[in-house]
């Protein structure tokens, strides 16, 4: 079965629940080697499951068998489709949670997704924020009631992580070097960033998984529309 239609401005967010979804035979040799290098069995199973799910999801958009999909890796390890798939215009990003993962797919030059459990120790996280976030972000968190600090911190963290993942920089870009909006329930924005090669971003957030937040950052001016699916709900296996 083909994937849902992906139009301009759409981001498809695929939820990968915990469970033995992985099919090791679908993975490329380098992916199997990475899985084998993970010493903890649960992490090894989770990696295999998510990589197999990623190949199945992309198969629906690319009309290629999951095994035939080839990946390239940026200087900081961010995976992307190999040049042979460039005509598709497809970008993707993956974020792993403890027992859940998400795969974001769109047509854009750059995409990043971050999925996190809402922290339950807000005051401790405020201390962390004052050390690693920029001053206006920390000030925004300090203004929150104590009971909202955990969600506030997670909101800022997922926005910043989605942005740096979209850039392909990971945490090589210091989190204090750029600013995002801090209010949850309000539009997510990249307010200022030095040395941003893109300069124009759209963001969207989802709290559809209980106790978690997910933020997507997509390059471009088109308004971002988020559509959510589960890999277990389509017969693309």
173: domain CATH number is: 3.90.470.20
Claim to verify: residue 41 and residue 21 sit in the same structural domain: yes
Claim to verify: residue 128 and residue 63 sit in the same structural domain: no
Claim to verify: residue 103 and residue 41 sit in the same structural domain: yes
Answer whether residue 104 is part of any domain. Answer: yes
Answer whether residue 5 is part of any domain. Answer: no
Claim to verify: residue 22 and residue 104 sit in the same structural domain: yes
Q: What range defines the domain where residue 166 resides?
A: 115-223
Answer whether residue 1 is part of any domain. Answer: no
Answer whether residue 137 is part of any domain. Answer: yes
Query: Helices 149-167 and 122-132: crossing angle, nearest 10°?
Result: 40
Q: What is the pLDDT of residue 236?
A: 38
* Total domains in the fold of the chain: 2
20 phi, psi to nearest 5 deg: -80, 65
Claim to verify: residue 93 and residue 177 sit in the same structural domain: no
Claim to verify: residue 48 and residue 136 sit in the same structural domain: no
Instruction: Give pTM, 2 decimals.
Output: 0.91
Claim to verify: residue 122 and residue 207 sit in the same structural domain: yes
Q: Of 79, 107, 106, 110, nearest to 190 (Cα)? A: 110
CA distances from 49 to 27, 75, 106, 187 (A): 10, 25, 21, 33
Claim to verify: residue 63 and residue 129 sit in the same structural domain: no
Answer whether residue 4 is part of any domain. Answer: no
Claim to verify: residue 93 and residue 34 sit in the same structural domain: yes
Report how far residue 201's alpha carbon sits from residue 111's, in angstroms, rounded to the nearest whole number.
9
Q: What is the pLDDT of residue 231?
A: 85
Claim to verify: residue 151 and residue 205 sit in the same structural domain: yes
SS3 readout for 14-57: EEEECCCCCCHHHCCHHHHHHHHHCCCHHHHHHHHHHHHHHHHH
- Segments of the chain with pLDDT less than 50: 1, 233-237
Answer whether residue 33 is part of any domain. Answer: yes
Answer whether residue 92 is part of any domain. Answer: yes
Claim to verify: residue 71 and residue 20 sit in the same structural domain: yes
Claim to verify: residue 121 and residue 98 sit in the same structural domain: no
């Amino acid at each position: 079965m083909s994937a849902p239609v992906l139009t301009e401005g759409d981001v498809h967010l695929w939820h990968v629940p915990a469970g033995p979804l992985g099919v090791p035979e679908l993975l490329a040799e380098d992916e199997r080697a990475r899985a084998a290098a993970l010493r903890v069995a649960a992490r090894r199973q989770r990696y295999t499951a998510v990589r197999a799910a990623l190949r199945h999801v992309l198969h629906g958009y690319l009309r290629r068998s999951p095994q035939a999909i080839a990946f390239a890796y940026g200087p900081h390890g961010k995976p992307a489709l190999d040049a042979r798939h460039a005509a598709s215009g497809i970008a993707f990003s993956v974020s792993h949670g403890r027992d859940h993962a998400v795969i974001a797919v769109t047509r854009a030059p750059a995409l990043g997704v971050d999925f996190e459990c809402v922290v339950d120790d807000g005051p401790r996280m405020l201390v962390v924020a004052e050390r690693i976030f920029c001053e206006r972000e920390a000030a925004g968190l300090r203004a929150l009631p104590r009971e909202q600090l955990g969600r506030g911190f997670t909101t800022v963290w997922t926005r910043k992580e989605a942005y740096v993942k979209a850039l392909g920089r990971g945490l090589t870009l210091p989190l204090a070097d750029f600013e995002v909006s801090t209010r949850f329930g309000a539009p997510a924005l990249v307010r200022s960033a030095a040395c941003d090669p893109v300069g124009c971003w759209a963001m969207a957030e989802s709290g559809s998984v209980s106790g978690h937040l997910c933020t997507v950052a997509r390059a471009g001016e088109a308004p971002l529309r988020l559509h959510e699916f589960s890999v277990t709900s389509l017969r693309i296996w």
